[in-house]
Amino acid sequence: MRHIIASLAAAACLTGAALAELEPGDTAPDFTVEGFQAGEPVSFHLAEALESGPVVVFFFPAAFTSGCEAQAASFAEAIDQFEAEGAQVIGITNGNTERLAEFSTQHCASAFPVFSLGDGMMQAYDVGMLMRPGWTSRTSYVIDQNSTIALTWSEMNPYEHVDRTIAAVRAMNAE
C-alpha cells in the first residue's frame, strides 16, 4: 500500500500543474494586474473588462520559454476569432516578468496584453506549478460576464488552449 501511495504522490508532482483549479460554475476572483501590450505599459481590472464581454485568461509558466512562446503565438494568430465573439484575451505569468514588454511584441505580436501575476492570484486561481515553485501552471480560464468560470483547461502542452477556449466562448454565445 505504501508503494501505491508513494507512486501516486510522485505522479502528482510530475504533472507540473496545480491539482484543484477553479471549476466551471465557480466565481472568478476579481483582480487588477499590470503588464504590457505592444511594449507599452497597461493595466487590467477583471470586473471592468467583463462589462464588455467574456474574458479568456491564460496563465503560462514564463516568458521566453519555448512552450510559452508557442502558446502566445497561437493566441495572437487567433485573436480575430476571439474578438469576433466579443471576448478579450489576456496572458498572465510569474516567470521572467522583467521581460514582458519585449515578450508582448515578439511573441504576442502586440495582439493582446500580458501581465505579471497579481498579489494573491497564484492561490486564488490555483495556478502554482508544482515542479517549479513560483511559476504559474499552463492553465486557461474562460470567464463569462457574470464572473463565472465557463471553462478550465490545464495542460502543459500549449497547443490545445486556443481551440478549447474559443470553443467555450462560442458555446457561451450560442446559448
For position 155, which CATH number holds?
3.40.30.10
- What pLDDT does 6 receive? 36
pTM: 0.86
The reply to whether 6 falls in a domain is: no
The C-alpha atoms of residue 68 and residue 73 are separated, in whole angstroms, by: 8
The C-alpha atoms of residue 81 and residue 126 are separated, in whole angstroms, by: 28
The reply to whether 120 falls in a domain is: yes
Structural domain total, the chain: 1
- What pLDDT does 132 receive? 84
The reply to whether 49 falls in a domain is: yes
The C-alpha atoms of residue 130 and residue 78 are separated, in whole angstroms, by: 29
Max CA-CA distance within the chain?
Answer: 55
Cell numbers placing 53: 464581454
The reply to whether 2 falls in a domain is: no
Ranges of the chain with pLDDT below 50: 1-19
The residue segments making up the domain with residue 94 are 16-174
The reply to whether 5 falls in a domain is: no
- What pLDDT does 129 receive? 84
Question: What ranges make up the beta strands (E) of the chain?
Answer: 32-37, 40-45, 55-59, 88-93, 114-116, 139-143, 149-154
The reply to whether 3 falls in a domain is: no
